[in-house]
Amino acid sequence: MSETQVKGLQMLLEDLAEIFNNSPPAKTEGLHFVPDNFAYWLIGTSGNHAADQKKSHELLQIWCLEVILQCLEEEALFEMDLTHVLAVLVALKTKQIEEYGGQEAWEIGKQVFM
């Protein structure tokens, strides 16, 4: 139930973002909204003490923390010098290739999508 409530909120926010982002004022002013903006600025929630409400609050808190951590990671990445950023990205790509079965499997996968 709680997962459904939070997913419903996220879907509603996606619909609102699409409407807002396509509106003349948003286009004129160069404004853009994504559902994660909502999570980033969400300060708290309220509800009763029912188990589903507590779980919904917990799921919203997890979403908020994930969004905040992603923003902090992006800020840290933009503050790094280019050499360090490239080293981090190469290490991540190498790890990803290994997780998908190594270089040979990676190459086969690339050929499938080309």
Mean pLDDT of 78-104: 89
Contacts of 17 (CB under 8 A, 6+ apart): 33, 34, 35
The domain locations on the chain are: 1-76, 80-114
Residue 106 pLDDT exceeds 90: no
C-alpha torsion sign, points 14, 36, 41, 44: positive
pTM of the entire structure?
A: 0.62
| CA atoms in the 13 A half-sphere facing the CB of 104 | 0
Mean pLDDT of 22-34: 95
Mean pLDDT of 86-107: 88
Q: What percent of the chain has pLDDT over 90?
A: 40
pLDDT at 32: 94
pLDDT at 41: 87
